[in-house]
Structure 1
Amino acid sequence: MNVGLSIAGAVLAGVGLGWLIFHYRQKKKQRLAAQHTETVSNDLPPPPSSKSISTPPSTTFTRSIPSYPSSKSDFGRASSYFGVQVFSYNELEEATNNFDPSRELGDGGFGAVYYGVLADGRVVAVKRLYENNFKRVEQFMNEVEILTRLRHQNLVTLYGCTSKRSRELLLVYEYIPNGTVADHLHGKRANSGLLSWTVRLNIAIETADALAYLHKSDIIHRDVKTNNILLDNDFHVKVADFGLSRLFPNDVTHVSTAPQGTPGYVDPEYYQCYQLTEKSDVYSFGVVLIELISSLQAVDTNRHRQNVNLAIMAVNKIQNHTLHELIDSSLGFETNSVVRRMATLVAELAFQCLQQQRDMRPSMEEVLEVLRGIQNGDLDAHKVKVVEMLINDEAGPLKGSVAPSSPDSVVTDK
C-alpha cells in the first residue's frame, strides 16, 4: 500500500515538474518574440505622410523620393501609399454619382475618366481602369509610383487611389477643366478659335518643359500625344497619363521592351529595334509640334493614303517647300510675317525631332531651349541648324538628311 502511494506521488511530482518546465520555456519564447518584434519595428521606415496631398505643384523643379514602404502588400492595407491617400471604392462611387455616364470626361486605352467631387469638396478626375486590360494592375502601380515621386507645374497632380485589392482600380487626379490639346485642335472644342499662335507656342514650351523634367528624373513618358496634354482655364499645360511610363536606369543607353504607344506617335526606331530611349519621347513630341502648327490629327484614314500618317506628310511637305499647305490657315501664316517665320522655325525643329535615327534628334532640353528662343524673338535660332523653308528656296531643309518613316501598326493597349 505504502509502495503504491509512493509511486503515485512520484508520478504526480514528475508531471508537475514537467508542466513547470514547459510553462517556463513558453514564457521565454514569448519574451524573445516580443523583443524581436520591437527590434524589427524600430528598423522599419516611418509611415508615409499624407501632407503632400494638399501641396500644390511646385513652380520650380524638384524631385522628392521619400523612403516609403515599397511592398505591394502594404498598399492593400495602408491609409496612404507613397504619400497619397488611399480611397475606398464607395467614396469614389459616391463622388462620381455611381460613375454616371454623363460625367465621363473621356476615355483612352486604359480606362475612362469621370468628373467627381469628394466629400471634402475637392473637384477631381477619377480614372477607372478597364477590367479587360490584363496589364491594368501593372499600369496602376506604375502610374502611382511615378506621379508620387515628381512635382512639376506642368505635370498633373495625383491625389490618391484605391487599394490594389479594391473592387475596382481607381486613380484620383486634380481636375483640369479645359479639356485636352487634341480637343482644341481637332476635337469637340476645335471651333472655339482660342488657340492663337501665341497660345500654341506656349503649349509647346510647357509640354517640352515637363518632358525635359521627366528625362532629368530618369523617366520616359512613352505615350506623348495631344490627348495626354491637358489644359487649364488659362491654357497652361498639365501632362497626364503615365500608365506606360518607365523609369530609365542612368547607367544604360536604352531599355529593351516591346513597343507600346499610340499609332502615329511611336518612334520608328523603337518600333524596329525594340530599344526605348529618351529620344522616343522626342519623336512623339515632334508629332505634337506638327499637330500644333497644322491642327491635323496624327493619324487620319480620311486623308490620301500617302498622308494618313501626319509625320510622314509633314516631312514631305517641308522637304518639298510646301509648308503653306500644312500650316493651319487661321494662324496668319500667309499674312503675318512674324508668325510665318516662327511657324517655319517650329516646323524645322519638328523635322529634326522626327528623324528616323534617334542620334540625329535633339534632346528635350535642346528642344526646350530652341522653343524659348523662338518665343523670345530669337528668330535666327542660331542653336539649331535651320534652313529657312519658303523664305529661302535655294536649298531644302536639312538637305541629305533621312526622311523618317513610321510603322503602319504598333503594339498598343487600345
Structure 2
Amino acid sequence: MDSPMLTPKVLRSTAKLPETPALERIGYGTGVGVFNLNRDEKSPWAAKIISRHAGRDRKQYSNRLQLEAKVLSSLNHPNVIGYRAFVKRPDGREILLMEQCEQSLCDLIELRVDQCLGPFPNKYIEKVAVDIANALDYLHTSLVLHGDIKSGNILVKNNFEIVKLCDFGVSLPLKTDGTLHRVKGHKAMYVGTPCWSAPEVLKGDECLGAIITSKADIFSYGLVFWEMMTLSVPNTSTAIDESYYTGISDDLDAHLGESPPIPASLIVDPNYKQIINLYQMCTIQDYLKRPSAKQILYYIDNFFFDKISIRDAESKISSTPF
C-alpha cells in the first residue's frame, strides 16, 4: 500500500466531503492499482488527507483518520458513505478514499440562505429523515455510535435521490444495550460538535457524569430537521462559518444541549406537522424517552401522513417492542 503506484494522483480540488479538522479537500483520480479498473477508466471518489499544516496535532488526526477507515471498511449500507481504500502517499500521509457525493446538506442550507429560499420543502426533510434513520438503525444494530450527526456530515446525491451519512472519525463502540462499550486500556470520549450535542454528553468525560448511548445520535439527528426548517445553526447565535464545523466560537450562547423553538410560521403550517412531531420526540431532554432509530422508522412508516398528535405518537412508539 506504500507503493507510489497505489498513490492516487490529484487532478482537481473539487471534493465536497465535509472534513474533520485539519483535513484538506482533494478531488478525482484514476483507479489504477486501487480499484482494479482499466487504465483508461476514471472512478470519482472523495478523499481525506491529513493537512501539511496539522503540526503537533498530526498524530491525533492520523489516529482519527485510521479509525474512520477501520469503521467504514466494516460497514455496508446504501445510506452510509461507501469505503473505497486507505492508502499512503510517498510523504507518509494517509489518504482515505470514499464514495463521492455531490454536496453536503450544509452546502444546500447555505445555498438556500444565499438565495433567500426559506425552509426546505417538507418532502426533502422527510427524505433526510428516512434515509438517515435507516443509516442510524444499521449503525446502532452494528454497535456503532456515529458521534457527530449534523448537516455537515450528511451527503446528498442529485436532487435528494439518496442521502448518506459520512465522517466516522469520532465514532464509538456500543454494547448491545446501546450504551458505550468500554474497552480496557482505551479511553473512549464523546467528541461530537457542541451545537448538535445531546445534553447528557456535554458534561464531559464519563467520570464527570456524561452518559453516552445511542440516543446521543438521535438528539443530534432531530436537530438536523431544525436546521432544515430554520436554515440556522442550532443552539448558538453563530452564523454559518468555520465555527459551524467545530461548534466553537466566541459568541456561543448558553443554550447548548437544548431543543430550540420552532418558528410560529412553521408550527401552523400543516405540511410540517409530522416533521415537528418527530423533531420534538428526538430532542427530548431525557435520553431514556427518545425513540430508537428503529422506532423512528416505525413512526415514519405509520404516522407521517396521518393527523396524529405528538402525545399519541409517543404513546404508540413507546409500546412498540424494539
- TM-score tier by shorter-chain length is 0.7 to 0.9
Describe the shift of the 1:341–1:114 C-alpha distance in structure 2 as closer, same or farther (beyond 3 A): same
Q: What amino acid maps onto 1:184 in structure 2?
A: L
Summarize deviations over 1:99-129 as a string: whole Å, max 9, x none: x5x4353544251232212244101111112
How far 1:164 moved relative to its partner?
9.5
Describe the shift of the 1:231–1:276 C-alpha distance in structure 2 as closer, same or farther (beyond 3 A): same
Q: Indicate whether 1:361 and 2:275 are aligned.
A: no
Describe the shift of the 1:308–1:346 C-alpha distance in structure 2 as closer, same or farther (beyond 3 A): farther
How many residues in Structure 1 have an aligned counterpart in Structure 2? 277
CA distance in 1, matches of 2:116, 2:314: 34
Tell me if the contact between 1:255 and 1:275 (Cα under 8 Å) persists in the aligned partners. Answer: no
- 1:324 is aligned to 264
Classify the secondary structure of the residue corresponding to 1:145.
helix
Match 2:175 to one of 246, 249, 252 = 249
The percent identity for this pair of structures is 21
Which structure is higher in helix share? 1
Tell me if the contact between 1:224 and 1:281 (Cα under 8 Å) persists in the aligned partners. Answer: yes
How far 1:278 moved relative to its partner?
0.3
Match 1:155 to one of 67, 76, 80 = 80
How far 1:271 moved relative to its partner?
1.9
Deviates more, 1:104-113 or 1:353-362: 104-113
CA distance in 2, matches of 1:245, 1:311: 19
Describe the shift of the 1:110–1:348 C-alpha distance in structure 2 as closer, same or farther (beyond 3 A): farther
Q: What amino acid maps onto 1:288 in structure 2?
A: V
Summarize deviations over 1:172-220 as a string: whole Å, max 9, x none: 011112x111111235886395943212211111111111111111110
Describe the shift of the 1:245–1:190 C-alpha distance in structure 2 as closer, same or farther (beyond 3 A): farther
Q: Indicate whether 1:265 and 2:205 are aligned.
A: no
CA distance in 2, matches of 1:379, 1:271: 35
CA distance in 1, matches of 2:95, 2:66: 11
Classify the secondary structure of the residue corresponding to 1:103.
coil
CA distance in 1, matches of 2:100, 2:193: 24
CA distance in 2, matches of 1:189, 1:231: 17
Tell me if the contact between 1:181 and 1:230 (Cα under 8 Å) persists in the aligned partners. Answer: yes
Larger Rg: 1
- 2:104 is aligned to 180
Describe the shift of the 1:140–1:290 C-alpha distance in structure 2 as closer, same or farther (beyond 3 A): same
Across the aligned residues of Structure 1 and Structure 2, the Cα RMSD in angstroms comes to: 3.2
1:145-294 matches, cutoff 5 A: 145-163=70-88, 167-177=92-102, 179-187=103-111, 191=115, 195-235=120-160, 236-250=162-176, 253-255=179-181, 257-272=188-203, 273-294=209-230
Structure 2 unaligned blocks of 5 or more: 32-40, 183-187, 204-208, 241-250, 317-322
Describe the shift of the 1:183–1:365 C-alpha distance in structure 2 as closer, same or farther (beyond 3 A): same
Q: Indicate whether 1:112 and 2:24 are aligned.
A: yes
1:93-132 matches, cutoff 5 A: 93-94=8-9, 96-97=10-11, 100=12, 102-103=13-14, 105=16, 107-119=19-31, 120-130=41-51, 131=54, 132=57
CA distance in 2, matches of 1:172, 1:384: 41
